[in-house]
Amino acid sequence: MFLFQVTYAQSNATANSLEIALNQVGSDEERLKITLQLSEEFYKTNPSLALKYARESERLAKNIHSNSSLNNAYVNQATAYLHMGNYPQALQLYFKAIDGAGKLDDSYTLFLAYEKLGILYPYQKNNKKALEYYFAALNQFSRKKPNSKKQIERKAYLLKNIGVAYNETKRYTESANYFNQALSLSKQLNDHELIANILNNQGTLYRDLGNNQLALKQYKEAMEIRRENNNKWGLSSSYLNIGQFYFDQKDYAIAETYLKEAIELGKQIEYW
């Protein structure tokens, strides 16, 4: 599964700043903005805490009668449940958010909910459903063109995830097409980690097509980008992918070198 990648150090620094800010504001409106952000920050590292902040967001949104923020709180609760592996509860809350956002014609919240449903269904081995919801998310951009860096980034990740889903269903031409679209947007944003992420996905696509030379080229290009940007989290992932590549080629000595690097770096960032 290919999900959004950030370094733990960056995530922790942002979360710490937000928690400090939360203790310094008094109004429900200000607290709501921060609790929504905090619930997003803790999805991966501490989904239980993410759920706590998302539930507080729900309470605050109801207090100030903000239906749009309430729908965002439902999306964040659902995503916390997704990362906890509670898929039935996640589905229930995503559809609750979709119902509310649909009544408000809130295209961005609809996009978020549909996109997350696309991420959920592969966990249940249902790439057909994943693609259905990914395209429902993509359709929101056809209604309203993304006009901020964050929204363009989300579209790029969505296109990448569509590419992944097509690759996993062996629809390689479609997969390559969506990876190329995602890569174009990521270069427009100059988002180094997103570029590396997509190059890595392309490496997997070429490997599945039997083009090992091109697969290794993409894997190594992703690795170099992460090395230049000192992205230890992403670099450990690159070492792991390249190590697995060489292992599959029965080049065990080189595989061992990369896998040891992955393990060592993983220990440094407390990934293992």
Residue 249, both tokens: 């080629």
Give me the DSSP letters along the chain: -------HHHHHHHHHHHHHHHTT--SHHHHHHHHHHHHHHTTTT-HHHHHHHHHHHHHHHHHTT-HHHHHHHHHHHHHHHHHHT-HHHHHHHHHHHHHHHHHHT-HHHHHHHHHHHHHHGGGGT-HHHHHHHHHHHHHHHHHS---SHHHHHHHHHHHHHHHHHHHHTT-HHHHHHHHHHHHHHHHHHT-HHHHHHHHHHHHHHHHHTT-HHHHHHHHHHHHHHHHHTT-HHHHHHHHHHHHHHHHHTT-HHHHHHHHHHHHHHHHHTT--
pLDDT of the residue at 22: 72
The closest alpha carbon to 92, from 74, 73, 106, belongs to: 74
Mean pLDDT over 56-67 rounds to: 96
**Over the stretch 206-265, which tens digit does the pLDDT of each residue have?**
999 999 999 999 999 999 999 999 998 899 999 999 999 999 999 999 999 999 999 998
pLDDT of the residue at 18: 67
pLDDT of the residue at 10: 47
pLDDT of 3 higher than 60 = no
pLDDT of 138 higher than 70 = yes
Residue 221, both tokens: 């290009």
Mean pLDDT over 122-146 rounds to: 90
Mean pLDDT over 83-90 rounds to: 96
Identify the helix (H) or strand (E) that includes residue 199. Answer: helix 192-208
pLDDT of the residue at 44: 82
pLDDT of the residue at 7: 42
Residue 19, both tokens: 């928690």
pLDDT of the residue at 266: 83
Q: Report which residue type is found at 110.
A: L
Report the chain's mean pLDDT, rounded to a whole number: 90
The closest alpha carbon to 265, from 236, 238, 237, 228, belongs to: 236
**Over the stretch 156-177, which tens digit does the pLDDT of each residue have?**
999 999 999 999 999 999 999 9
Burial class (CB in 10 A: 0-12, 13-18, 19+), 148: exposed
pLDDT of 41 higher than 70 = yes
pLDDT of 45 higher than 70 = yes
The closest alpha carbon to 215, from 249, 251, 265, 187, belongs to: 249
DSSP 79: H
